[in-house]
Amino acid sequence: MARILGGICTSHIPAIGAAIARGTQEDPYWKPFFEAYPPVREWLRKVEPDIAVVVYNDHGLNFFLDNLPTFAIGAAPEYRNADEGWGLPTLAPYPGDPKFSWHVIESLIADEFDIATCQEMLVDHAFTVPLSLLWPERSKMRIKTLPIAVNTVQHPLPSPTRCYKLGQAVGRAIESYPDDLGVVLIATGGLSHQLDGERAGFINKKFDLMCLDKIVADPLALAKYSIHDLVEHAGTQGVELIMWLVMRGALTGKVAKVHSHYHIPVSNTAAGLVVLENAA
């Protein structure tokens, strides 16, 4: 049976991808951010996952307002990125695992999560940037991927509680897969930031530090917030915390924190990172 090895939550700011493309990770602006990632890569080398389930939000690359799913899942043999309008580098396609995808789809829908299925799906920076941070050398990246996209573009967004429950259903789906595979969940986005409106540039360190603490031992305390609460406390894009709750829901009750980091600012964002190992 497939095993959930643990979960990683990380910010996914496009500027990180640009810094990687330019090779400026050692610059004074970037060093305090990038130096948080070697311990995560070390953990990944130790647990050796076969598949990464990547929970992220599409920023208007694959989905438009004509047809916007609240939750969508990839069922493709591979996933490609695109320049997103800013000239981001196009990367080698990320391998998928359609057999695993369809198992998760069937399990989720039997579990009353009626998720949209995508046999073609472009993945944006929210998917690619974390994978570039975790596997900087693509030639050494052996894992397959399964993207799960959560709508954060158009309100109403799914509630934090709903996202946590989706994560629990994803966890049940993974653990009922008959093949012996190690699975890691990667939740991308956050922490506090706001790109739009006169409140652009809003960051809330106190709230973020609370989230970094609660995601480990008391995720239900975070799931209790409303989307409106998250916009207020973490900014319009700080709602991306809901991806972290999907990841956390998939882990079993007891987790051990392997690593965490927090840094302000990366572009407009407070960057957060947590690595949790499934202890139960």
Known catalytic residue at 261: no
Residue 120 contacts another protein per CB under 8 A: no
Cβ neighbours of residue 171 under 8 Å, at least 6 residues apart? 4, 249, 250, 251, 252
Give the alpha-carbon dihedral of 219, 224, 228, 230, to 10 degrees.
Answer: -20
Rounded Cα–Cα distance for residues 257 and 122 (Å)? 32
Residue 89 contacts another protein per CB under 8 A: no
Give the x-and-dash track for 7-46 against another protein (CB under 8 A).
Answer: --------x-------------------------------
User: Which tokens hold the place of 64?
Assistant: 């438009």
Cis (ω within 30 of 0) for the bond into 38? no
**Is 12 or 144 the residue whose CB approaches another protein more closely?**
12
Among 59, 172, 257, 259, binds another protein (CB under 8 A): 59
Rounded to 10°, the helix 241-250/205-217 angle is 10
Residue 195 contacts another protein per CB under 8 A: yes
Interacting residues with another protein between 130 and 159 (CB under 8 A): 153-156
Tell me how far, at minimum, the Cβ of 234 lies from another protein, in Å. 11
Residue in 12, 125, 233, 261 annotated catalytic: 125
Tell me how far, at minimum, the Cβ of 260 lies from another protein, in Å. 16
Residue in 12, 59, 155, 193 annotated catalytic: 193
Segment interacting with another protein (CB under 8 A) among 38-46, 47-55, 60-68, 247-255: 60-68
**Is 2 or 270 the residue whose CB approaches another protein more closely?**
270
Tell me how far, at minimum, the Cβ of 235 lies from another protein, in Å. 8
Q: Which residues sit opposite 117 in a β-bridge?
A: 73
HSE (CB half, 13 Å, CA atoms) of 226? 5
Residue 276 contacts another protein per CB under 8 A: no
What is the 8-class DSSP label of residue 59? -
Residue 211 contacts another protein per CB under 8 A: no
- What is the end-to-end Cα distance of the chain in Å, rounded? 15
Among 27, 35, 42, 83, binds another protein (CB under 8 A): 83
Cβ neighbours of residue 258 under 8 Å, at least 6 residues apart? 6, 39, 40, 43, 275, 276, 277
b/e burial code for range 221-253 (CB count within 10 A of at least 16 → b): ebbebebeebbebbbbbbbbbbbbbbbbbbbee
Rounded to 10°, the helix 241-250/160-175 angle is 40
Segment interacting with another protein (CB under 8 A) among 19-27, 45-53, 214-222, 262-270: 262-270
**Is 200 or 256 the residue whose CB approaches another protein more closely?**
200
Interface ranges with another protein (CB under 8 A): 15, 59-61, 64-66, 82-87, 153-156, 194-201, 203, 205, 226-228, 231-232, 236, 263-265, 267-268, 270
Q: Tell me which residues are annotated as active site.
A: 125, 193
